[in-house]
Chains A and B, each alone.
Chain A
Amino acid sequence: MKDSMAKADSGSASGEVGPAGAAGGGEAVAAAAPGDLAKAAELGARVKLPVAARGKIFEWAVYGATGACIAIIAGLFIELLANSWLSISTFGLSFLWTSEWNPVTNQFGALPFIYGTIVSSAIAILLASITGVMAGAFLAEFSPPRLAEPLSFVIELLAAVPSVVYGLWGLFVLGPVMRDYIEPFLQRYFGFLPIFAGTIYGVGMLTAGVILAIMIVPTVTAISRDVMRAVPNSQREAIWALGANRWQGFRMVVLPIARPGIFAACILALGRALGETIATTMVIGNRPAIAASLFAPGYTISSVIANEFTEATSQVYLSALLELGLLLFIISVIVNGLARLLLWTIFRPMES
């Protein structure tokens, strides 16, 4: 017992882990064997070398794991670039802004897919950020603690549902509800807006956005709840002491402090929405066209890859599909980059 403890101590005392570990180690030794320090030190000395080696191994493992992540990303990018080269050299930059997608004549353009990906994800993040942040605020600030735990569990359960289940549910349940109730309602009262005009199919851009929103709401809710809970109580008590009520305290103290974290939650959720495949494919209508109406069918990058990759045989066709993959990769990088930029430029000055 003593021996193993001393070993553990010497691990932290060897200096690899820094001052906090060393201090903790010293305390433990003192507590375990107050009169036997010399022996403990001797034991420590005997196992010092292997422990140091273990530290080194751990260090290398950490470097290795991080390096592997970067290598995978780099490899992914290079592989995508190499395999889409045929398409890039055939269509050039016009791939980005032409709308023709014709596998019969091997003419490919990505614009409707880029548009569909961005619009469906934008609808999703708009709906999910509002709902998710409010739900997170309820769980963190307003709900009785006895209710918060089971509710959190249920909301997190939403994240565990496989996306194909969402897709089927979207096709068989949400689609008809959108077609018979929600979209006619929107058209009746807001039909003067072009986004709510046109034929109602039930499936389409709006339905896809709603399905995606349901899928990413748990992410937004869970993270914003945690971020709000992390706001120190002293801050709340301070504003309450000034006479603010719960709601005012939330608005003036909790929300501003938690805002960068909430924003990060939304970005994380947006990443999932951009890449979601099966659920979107089931309900978006899969038509590569750009329409002003959100009721019209659309198409996303990941959907077209999932739909057409398995049966694509011509080289240019395959290459064009891979170039779409490359574009999705680039879009994700841009979205994440912009998010970081926003975090730096908007929230940093506010904090200081």
Chain B
Amino acid sequence: MSPWSWISKTAGLAGVVLALGVSVALAATQLTGAGSTFDYPFFSRAFYEYSQQHSGVTVNYQSIGSGGGIQQFIAKTIDFGASDVPMNTEELKLAGALVLQVPITLGGEAIGYNLPGVGKGLRMTRQLIADIYLGKVRKWNAPEVSKLNPKLKLPDMDITVVHRSDGSGTTYIFTDFLSRVSAQWKEKVGTGKSVQWPAGLGGKGNEGVAGQVRQTPGAIGYIELAYVLENQITYALVENQAGKYLYPSIETVAAAAASKPDVSSTDFSIVDAAGENSYPISGYSWVMIYERPADPARAKLVRDTMEWLVTKGQALAKSVDYVPLPENVQWQALKIISAIKV
């Protein structure tokens, strides 16, 4: 072997070792997460800000859907998963290790409608929404609707019920709400990300439902609050448990969350929450992390990032029309995150 080739080989080997070292260093500053599409606008805003403030840390979030997020999380290919509904016992068993589930952001749902000549200010009780979605109230001028809205001139028009066709956390929160306020709904349909709808049309995504509602005179549909705030959609005042009629807003959804500070992955529903100012169709989205992250080098990074996300990061939620966690829930979230073993 000539000295030159020896030198070049050694140099090459050193280069490889160096490159490996660098890539390990890189890996320690990069987190990957996957899951809920609902979280995506908030996460991309928040994690961008985080990497600005913490030089070199990047968080790569893939919005592949909650189901995919849970699967990837169970397969341990990502540092954290995100889901609109916490993992259930069966899924936790598959994970095979202790999983921490952290409430990360809040969502609320508006009841959008399209009634030519009526405009804003339609009032609806919880029971009425359930009866419409059950297909029991079929006309806009039915007594159930008109007695709540004596001042509005309700047309003699069929109600076209619109729901999400794709599996979604939005549907989960909405059906959770309906199951809470209507025994008949609970028994006949139940709660889920996809359910067997007794009535209506399915639209794909918020844009599908909103598009359908805007297109169809007489239509009604539930739409994510962030989407409603950024688009021109007329939505109803919904009666809460205290008997007040409220519009969904960042404040009224946050009030619903604040009414239940001890939220956990097994007791997380905040639909039909108590309190004067609580909007009844609200719910959390979740992040899942292992108590002992597979890569100990990244455990601290995961903990730091999540701590930031549930506290300082929450301030960014409003800028993308998301509802920040109320302070008492931020404390609860911090308590859960502090269990990560670093």
- Could you list which residues of chain A lie within 8 angstroms of chain B, going by C-beta atoms? 100-105, 171-172, 175-176, 179, 199, 201-203, 281-282, 285-288, 297, 299, 303, 306-314
Complex Cα–Cα for A171 and B213 (A): 11
Q: Is the CB of A307 within 8 A of B202?
A: yes
Residues of B within 8 A of A299 (CB): 202
Q: Is the CB of A172 within 8 A of B211?
A: yes
Chain B contact residues (Cβ within 8 angstroms of A): what range? 35 or more
Indicate whether B168 reaches chain A with its CB closer than 8 angstroms. yes
Q: Is the CB of A286 within 8 A of B191?
A: no
Q: Is the CB of B166 within 8 A of A310?
A: yes
Residues of A within 8 A of B70 (CB): 313
> Quick one: given A104-B196, A172-B211, A313-B70, are A286 and B167 in contact (CB under 8 Å)?
no
Residues of B within 8 A of A312 (CB): 67, 167, 194
Residues of A within 8 A of B67 (CB): 309-313
Chain A residue with the shortest CB-CB distance to B65: A310
Q: Is the interface of A mostly helix, strand, loop or mixed?
A: loop
Indicate whether B269 reaches chain A with its CB closer than 8 angstroms. no
Complex Cα–Cα for A176 and B212 (A): 10
List 19 interface pairs A-B (beta carbons < 8 Å), by A numbering.
A103-B167, A103-B195, A105-B190, A171-B208, A171-B212, A201-B201, A281-B165, A282-B204, A286-B202, A287-B201, A297-B201, A307-B167, A307-B194, A310-B65, A311-B65, A311-B169, A312-B167, A312-B194, A314-B90
Residues of A within 8 A of B160 (CB): 201
> Quick one: given A104-B196, A201-B160, A286-B203, are A308 and B167 in contact (CB under 8 Å)?
yes
Complex Cα–Cα for A201 and B37 (A): 29
Q: Is the CB of A307 within 8 A of B204?
A: yes
Chain A residue with the shortest CB-CB distance to B70: A313
Residues of B within 8 A of A281 (CB): 165, 204
Indicate whether B189 reaches chain A with its CB closer than 8 angstroms. yes
- Could you list which residues of chain B lie within 8 angstroms of chain A, going by C-beta atoms? 37, 64-68, 70-71, 88, 90-91, 158, 160, 165-169, 189-197, 200-204, 208, 211-212, 215-216
Most buried by A among B70, B169, B192: B192
Complex Cα–Cα for A121 and B118 (A): 39
A236 to chain B, nearest CB (A): 49
Residues of B within 8 A of A102 (CB): 195-196
Residues of B within 8 A of A176 (CB): 215
What 8 A-B pairs are tightest by C-beta distance, nearest first?
Answer: A286-B202, A311-B167, A310-B65, A286-B165, A104-B190, A102-B196, A307-B166, A104-B192
Complex Cα–Cα for A144 and B71 (A): 59
Chain A residue with the shortest CB-CB distance to B189: A104
Q: Is the CB of B201 within 8 A of A286?
A: yes
Residues of B within 8 A of A313 (CB): 66-67, 70-71, 88, 91
> Quick one: given A171-B208, A175-B215, are A203 and B201 in contact (CB under 8 Å)?
yes
